[in-house]
Amino acid sequence: IYGEEAYEWMDTKASGVCWLLFESGVIKNSPDQYGIQKP
């Protein structure tokens, strides 16, 4: 995959990681505050 699909895939991956960190207590602020949707 490349181009648009790659960007979308990376965004999904990154938001998933952010939510995992939040849920495990590594980061205190909800990703929602930064406009990151829960995947």
The per-residue pLDDT for range 1-39, each reduced to its tens digit, is 578 888 888 888 999 999 999 999 999 999 998 888 887
Q: Is residue 39 part of a domain?
A: no
Q: Is residue 26 part of a domain?
A: yes
Cβ(13)–Cβ(5) below 8 Å: no
For residues 9 and 3, give the distance between their C-alpha atoms in angstroms, rounded to a whole number: 10
Distance (Å) of CA 21 to CA 2, 4, 6, 14, 15: 27, 26, 22, 11, 10
At residue 22, the pLDDT reads 94
How many domains is the chain built from? 1
Note the pTM of the prediction, 2 decimals.
0.67
Pull the structure tokens for residue 26.
Answer: 């590594």
For residues 16 and 33, give the distance between their C-alpha atoms in angstroms, rounded to a whole number: 15
Q: Is residue 25 part of a domain?
A: yes
Q: Is residue 30 part of a domain?
A: yes
Domain that holds residue 30: 4-34
